[in-house]
Structure 1
Amino acid sequence: MIVEPLQLTVSAAFAGLNAGSAISADQIDAAEKRLGLALPEALKDYYLVAGGYPEMMEKDFHLFSPEKLRIEGDYLVFCEESQGGAVWGIHRNNLLTLPNPRVEGRAGNAQKWFSESSKLSAFLLGIGAWQALLSQEETARCELPEKQLKKIEAQFDYIGERSLRLGGHRVGLIYRDAAAPLIAAYLFNSEMLYVGTPEEGLIERIEELSGLDFEWL
């Protein structure tokens, strides 16, 4: 479902680097047997493509490895905030009936769950790009009202088909020039564009081309 866009994210963020201890299909199968349910295709894809890169699993969001997936009430919990302030999961009914289920969140020790993303694929593609850019040597951000997103479409491509990437709070982008490695994430709730690159001077070049005004992080 999201193998190709995840591969695009990984290749842009970690070019020339080999994955560490990758997550195997056997680990996924064992988790399904332990939990007594089938994991969504998008989550399996994330494990198989990005699971070998610690930055993709544990940077700002901590995605649980298959062995640490757990059931809380009616939810399969698969992700938590790095500081443990929130967790994200999928309701059992949606796991059983939807190929690309909704993601819900729960803050701290609260009992009530809230809607986070209408599609698991959008949640995973968004945080995958976010984790990848935060791992880069140079990172920056700028304000960009959503109605002005078209302003950067000449330099950037979205990560994933529209039907898979939309529905969450963030979306990933890749700089169109393959020789200039840069990955980005746009946050709809704050209307901020974040970028990350290992290449010195690239962000300044993009500022000149796009007219954006970045603040270094």
Structure 2
Amino acid sequence: MVGDFDAAVAMQDGISDRSEAWDFIRAFAAGWHTPLTAGDGVGEEDLRQIEGRLGLSLPTALREAYLLFGRRPELFDQQDPMLPPSGLFVHEDLGGVLCFRSENQGCAFWGVRLSDLGEADPPVVVQARGGWQPFMDKVSLACVELILSETLFGDGPLYNACELPAEVVSEIPQLFHRVALPDYPMWTGDDESPVRWFSAPGLLLRQDGLMAESWLHVRGRTLAHLSSACSTVPGRWAQWQGTEPTLVDELPF
């Protein structure tokens, strides 16, 4: 059933190359949204035009990502969006970084060093507080993370967040399945790093940091899925816990 999709199960052997990344994104789109179709990507001409404007060639993996899902905003344009081809730009730091994703208020950017553009699936860096840091070893992995994060923070009432008490932080891996993505830094800083993903049937969860009062973000495919997660994890939920309101002062973004 659609509502029973489990990201950790779908990625149980990890992702070793960009072909596997695109296969996962196809499965995830079908499980959480609607299946990808031939018309869901941008056109080759759009990409050639932007390459001409920038005077460079896009890495193969980034090109394939745009061709696969570049016209599906629910997959990449909710919180910290992937830039449209017309929005790609080069940041002057690090000898030049081709930026393809932006934090929603422009506080951080994700991109590929110009020196790495010759690789088919190059590493990605993020402009975190304190400077640029390694983010993912491959553009394709960064696209998987993008799809997960943008779905997590999508519109609607099926999202919640919790400040985890110290005694609960270590319990999350026992309560949910770990998604086989490597640890990576949260752009907001060390206190919210590393970022780890978890899932269960119909649930997607992201833990930002490993200390007390780190944040657990949750999205359910249905209200019943979300309620089950909020009832399972004790803590200060941003919107409600079970059926009772328990507001926190602010979210960490």
Partner AA of 2:42 in structure 1: I
Taking the TM superposition and a 5 Å limit, the aligned residue runs for 1:1-217 are: 1=18, 2-15=21-34, 22-73=41-92, 74-97=96-119, 99-105=121-127, 113-119=131-137, 120-135=139-154, 136-142=156-162, 143=164, 147-153=170-176, 156=177, 158=179, 161-162=180-181, 165-169=182-186, 170-175=195-200, 177=201, 181-188=202-209, 191-207=214-230, 211-213=232-234, 215-217=237-239
Q: How many residues align?
A: 201
Counterparts of 1:16 and 1:66, CA distance in 2? 22
TM-score, normalised relative to structure 2: 0.63
- Identity of aligned pairs, percent? 18
Distance 1:48 1:186, change over 3 A: farther
Query: Cα offset for 1:189?
Result: 6.6
Query: Cα offset for 1:18?
Result: 8.1
Counterparts of 2:69 and 2:199, CA distance in 1? 16
Query: Cα offset for 1:147?
Result: 4.3
The structure with the greater share of residues assigned to strand is 1
Partner AA of 1:83 in structure 2: Q
Q: Which structure 2 residue ranges, 5 or more long, are not aligned?
A: 1-17, 187-194, 240-253
Counterparts of 2:26 and 2:121, CA distance in 1? 21
Partner AA of 2:218 in structure 1: V
TM-score, normalised relative to structure 1: 0.72
Query: Cα offset for 1:76?
Result: 0.8
Q: Deviations over 1:116-141 (max 9, x none)?
A: 51424443322321210221431122
Partner AA of 2:153 in structure 1: L
Corresponding position of 2:5: none
Query: Cα offset for 1:23?
Result: 1.9
Q: Which structure 1 residue ranges, 5 or more long, are not aligned?
A: none
